[in-house]
């Protein structure tokens, strides 16, 4: 099976059974890999009664057909399960080196079922796997865990995906961490891992991915590499990291401030990628096979950190501008704390900022926060809250449930900036109307990882797919562009390709063809993306999603009085009407029509 290792490793933690399962070739051909293929498998395994934190919720670690090949920026992997944060489809993808190493170890994916009676970790090496005791690792940070496992196995090159105390304590937005701060952050996959008492997965291997046409593949990989190197956006990413765009984002009102209630925060410029380069930056680094190297290394003397990961754009906003914090050293430290505890920085920062907002509004007071006075711009109280969340101590126990539940507790659910339970990413939809639709219809909630339309709105069009840039505040005609972009990104998330690398789409599709020998065209690639999008929708409807969940919270529908979005609010309901029509979904239920399912070859999803 060219392009694939041809098998999954299936581990049942309840009885310790470990076995290889050949890939389902029909599923692979129609859903490719990554989150697309994982969703097809999971569709057969979960329903509305599946407890996200119960043994019956399977956890998938998946690679794609380009993972571990010479195709540039394709070293990512994805973790999928029913999300404990949203109760819907959960998905978090991550860079680093774990995905390629899992393939070198002989597997396209690892499926973890059941629940272990005691903490364990899974070791996989060249087609062999074993469960090992992990009681001595329980309670350790994600960095300590990786080091200890490498020492124990006597192999510096073992790649470890693990949870920290947050995952162990079932924090609903716990992340899975690997390598130097690479996070599979969103939708609480770390909590699912913790519920199974699976501390880590350690992979190592020496196998190669077989390619249908290795020569053509190598030529295409060179083409892709050249295109990525020539791209001005990737050059900026290399020089200043993802936080390099912060100043521009703030100017547009894209970067949120004061929990999405303030239109501008000029001091935020102290957190930008260029400010980082002038102050705490010590170097940059890359995920497997990536020429961009957007990751930052920083030194934070003030907090005793001789080297740690520099905060990315999402983190400088979630732990910086959102909290009116402009001390870059403090934000880097707070990001480091989240990584070490194994917490998603977006949901963590947003839940903490929500608590600050409720405090400011007088909805909660020191009696709720264990005496903490929550004042904007105070890194000490944020650090305390991160620790309280990770260990579920005091007020942290409530925050660990996510913003939606915090809002519910205080009769302020409408004020929590979340969609379907997932805290909204750091691109304000008032700055770009397409993002309103992206968040409202994303299968995982308020995420920018199902479609990064904000980049299209800023001029990064994909002309071959008729994905065009128009006025950022315009709503008319946005739905078809958003739908096409979601389909394309679903296909990318199946491959799995980093969103920051954008070689010509034809090259991407041909890479798949030369790896597998299938000769996939652009139209088929888009049809595969659309099929995956609709499958995730069908699964969510089965898990309890309703049409009225396609919405934005009240705070994001209030116009701001100043800044780059002054007075602008997208008319989401009008955009949704157009969106359902374009998608072929019933406007009353939000469900794909039978005609649409038939067209996508998904008619059987209603029977399963």
C-alpha span between 459 and 471 (Å, rounded): 10
CB of 74 to ligand SF4, least distance (A): 8
Interface with ligand SF4 by CB under 6 A: which range of 1-9, 158-166, 287-295, 352-360?
287-295
Q: Is 236 exposed, middle or buried (0-12, 13-18, 19+ CB in 10 A)?
A: middle
When the beta carbons of 161 and 575 are compared against ligand SF4, the nearer one is 161
C-alpha span between 61 and 340 (Å, rounded): 21
User: Which positions ≥6 away from 194 have C-beta within 8 Å?
Assistant: 163, 166, 167, 168, 169, 170, 174
* DSSP states of 297-319: EEEEGGGTEEEEEPP-HHHHHHT
Q: Which of residues 480-519 bind ligand SF4 (CB under 6 A)?
A: 498, 500-501
DSSP3 helix / strand / coil % (the chain, rounded to 5) = 45, 15, 40
When the beta carbons of 183 and 322 are compared against ligand SF4, the nearer one is 183
CB of 292 to ligand SF4, least distance (A): 4
Residues pairing with 418 in the sheet? 423
C-alpha angle 57/530/418, rounded to 5°?
A: 55
Q: Which of residues 90-109 bind ligand SF4 (CB under 6 A)?
A: 95
Q: Which of residues 188-207 bind ligand SF4 (CB under 6 A)?
A: none
User: Using an 8 Å Cβ cutoff, are 296 and 309 in contact?
Assistant: yes
Using DSSP, state whether 532 is helix, strand or coil.
Answer: helix
Q: Which strands, in side-by-side order, build the sheet including 77-82?
A: 17-22, 7-12, 109-113, 59-62, 77-82, 89-94
CB of 109 to ligand SF4, least distance (A): 20
When the beta carbons of 43 and 313 are compared against ligand SF4, the nearer one is 313
Output b/e per residue, 436-459; b: 16+ Cβ within 10 A.
Answer: bbbbbbbbbbbbbbbbbbbbbbbe
Residues pairing with 257 in the sheet? 262
CB of 255 to ligand SF4, least distance (A): 19
Interface with ligand SF4 by CB under 6 A: which range of 144-152, 202-210, 286-294, 430-438?
286-294
- Residue 523's H or E segment, with its range, is helix 522-543
When the beta carbons of 501 and 541 are compared against ligand SF4, the nearer one is 501
Interface with ligand SF4 by CB under 6 A: which range of 194-202, 284-292, 584-592, 596-604?
284-292
CB of 67 to ligand SF4, least distance (A): 11
CB of 552 to ligand SF4, least distance (A): 27
CB of 308 to ligand SF4, least distance (A): 16
Before 496, cis peptide (omega within 30)?
yes
Q: Which of residues 25-84 bind ligand SF4 (CB under 6 A)?
A: 73
User: Using an 8 Å Cβ cutoff, are 424 and 446 in contact?
Assistant: yes
Q: Residue 547 carries which DSSP code?
A: G
When the beta carbons of 177 and 286 are compared against ligand SF4, the nearer one is 286
CB of 171 to ligand SF4, least distance (A): 24
By the rule CB under 6 A, 236 interacts with ligand SF4: no
By the rule CB under 6 A, 287 interacts with ligand SF4: yes
Q: Which of 198, 292, 351, 405 binds ligand SF4 (CB under 6 A)?
A: 292
When the beta carbons of 315 and 565 are compared against ligand SF4, the nearer one is 315
Q: Which of 286, 317, 526, 560 binds ligand SF4 (CB under 6 A)?
A: 286
CB of 135 to ligand SF4, least distance (A): 33
CB of 449 to ligand SF4, least distance (A): 11
CB of 530 to ligand SF4, least distance (A): 25
By the rule CB under 6 A, 455 interacts with ligand SF4: no
Encoded one letter per residue, x for contact with ligand SF4 by CB under 6 A and - for no contact, window 156-185 reads ------------------------------
C-alpha span between 166 and 507 (Å, rounded): 40
C-alpha span between 461 and 233 (Å, rounded): 13
Number of residues that bind ligand SF4 (CB under 6 A): 12
Token reading at 510:
């041909």
Around Cβ 581, how many Cβ atoms within 10 Å?
12
Closest CA to 343 of 541, 191, 499: 191
How large is the angle between the packed helices 478-495 and 522-543, nearest 10 degrees?
A: 90
Interface with ligand SF4 by CB under 6 A: which range of 260-268, 271-279, 290-298, 445-453?
290-298
When the beta carbons of 336 and 391 are compared against ligand SF4, the nearer one is 336
C-alpha span between 242 and 271 (Å, rounded): 11
Interface with ligand SF4 by CB under 6 A: which range of 148-156, 201-209, 291-299, 373-381?
291-299
CB of 286 to ligand SF4, least distance (A): 4
CB of 5 to ligand SF4, least distance (A): 21
When the beta carbons of 244 and 396 are compared against ligand SF4, the nearer one is 244
When the beta carbons of 354 and 488 are compared against ligand SF4, the nearer one is 488
Cα Dmax for the chain: 67
Closest CA to 264 of 278, 276, 252: 252
User: Using an 8 Å Cβ cutoff, are 158 and 150 in contact?
Assistant: yes
When the beta carbons of 145 and 233 are compared against ligand SF4, the nearer one is 233
Q: Which of 186, 196, 295, 427 binds ligand SF4 (CB under 6 A)?
A: 295
When the beta carbons of 382 and 498 are compared against ligand SF4, the nearer one is 498
Using DSSP, state whether 68 is helix, strand or coil.
Answer: coil
Q: Which of 166, 174, 175, 290 binds ligand SF4 (CB under 6 A)?
A: 290
Q: Which of 92, 294, 318, 576 binds ligand SF4 (CB under 6 A)?
A: 294
Listed in order, strand segments (DSSP E) in 114-209 are 120-125, 128-133, 159-162, 176-178, 182-184, 198-204
The residues of the shown chain that bind ligand SF4, judged by CB under 6 A, are 73, 95, 286-287, 290, 292-295, 498, 500-501
């Amino acid at each position: 099976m060219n392009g694939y290792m041809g098998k999954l490793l299936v581990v049942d933690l309840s009885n310790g059974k470990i076995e290889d399962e050949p890939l389902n070739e029909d599923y692979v051909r129609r859903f490719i890999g990554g989150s697309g293929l994982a969703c097809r498998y999971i569709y057969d395994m979960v329903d509305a009664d599946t407890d996200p934190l119960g043994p019956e919720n399977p956890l998938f670690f998946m690679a794609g057909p380009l993972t571990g090949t010479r195709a540039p920026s394709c070293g990512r992997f994805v973790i999928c399960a029913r999300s404990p944060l949203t109760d819907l489809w959960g998905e978090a993808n991550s860079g680093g080196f774990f995905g390629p190493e899992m393939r070198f170890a002989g597997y396209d994916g690892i499926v973890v079922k059941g629940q272990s009676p005691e903490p364990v970790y899974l070791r996989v090496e060249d087609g062999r796997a074993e469960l090992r005791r992990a009681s001595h690792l329980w309670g350790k940070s994600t960095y300590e865990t990786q080091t200890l496992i490498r020492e124990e196995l006597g192999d510096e090159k073992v790649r470890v995906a693990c949870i920290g105390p947050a995952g162990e304590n079932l924090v609903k937005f716990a992340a899975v961490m690997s390598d130097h701060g690479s996070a599979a952050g969103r939708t609480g996959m770390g909590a699912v891992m913790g519920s199974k008492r699976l501390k880590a997965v350690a992979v190592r291997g020496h196998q190669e991915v077989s390619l249908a046409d290795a020569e053509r593949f190598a030529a295409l990989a060179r083409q892709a590499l050249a295109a990525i190197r020539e791209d001005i956006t990737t050059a900026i990413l290399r020089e200043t990291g993802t936080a390099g765009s912060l100043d521009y984002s703030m100017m547009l009102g894209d970067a949120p401030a004061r929990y999405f209630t303030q239109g501008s925060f000029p001091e935020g410029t102290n957190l930008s990628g260029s400010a980082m380069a002038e102050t705490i930056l010590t170097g940059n680094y890359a995920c497997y096979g990536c020429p961009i190297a957007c990751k930052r290394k920083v030194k934070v003397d003030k907090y005793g950190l001789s080297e740690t990961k520099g905060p990315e754009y999402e983190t400088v906003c979630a732990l910086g501008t959102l909290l009116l914090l402009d001390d870059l050293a403090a934000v880097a430290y707070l990001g480091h704390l989240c990584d070490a505890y194994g917490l998603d920085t977006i949901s963590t920062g947003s839940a903490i900022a929500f608590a600050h907002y409720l405090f400011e509004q007088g909805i909660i007071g020191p009696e709720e926060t264990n005496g903490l006075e929550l004042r904007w711009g105070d890194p000490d109280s944020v650090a305390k809250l991160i620790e309280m969340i990770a260990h579920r101590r005091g007020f942290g126990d409530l925050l660990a449930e996510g913003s939606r539940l915090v809002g519910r507790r205080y009769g302020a659910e409408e004020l929590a900036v979340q969609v379907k339970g997932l805290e909204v990413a750091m691109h304000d939809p008032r700055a770009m109307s397409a993002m309103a639709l992206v968040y409202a219809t994303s299968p995982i909630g308020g995420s920018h990882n199902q479609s990064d339309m904000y980049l299209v709105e800023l001029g990064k069009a994909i002309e071959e797919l008729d994905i065009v840039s128009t006025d950022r505040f315009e709503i008319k005609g946005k739905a078809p562009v958003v739908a096409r972009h979601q389909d394309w990104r679903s296909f990318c998330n199946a491959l799995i390709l980093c969103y920051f690398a954008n070689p010509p789409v034809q090259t991407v599709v041909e890479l798949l063809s030369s790896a597998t020998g299938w000769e996939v065209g652009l139209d088929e690639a888009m049809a595969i993306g659309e099929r995956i999008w609709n499958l995730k929708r069908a699964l969510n409807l089965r898990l309890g999603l309703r049409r009225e969940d396609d919405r934005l919270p009240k705070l994001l529908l209030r116009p701001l009085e100043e800044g780059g979005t002054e007075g602008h609010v997208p008319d989401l309901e009008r955009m949704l009407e157009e969106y359902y029509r374009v998608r072929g979904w019933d406007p009353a239920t939000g469900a794909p029509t039978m005609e649409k399912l038939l067209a996508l070859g998904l008619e059987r999803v209603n029977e399963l």
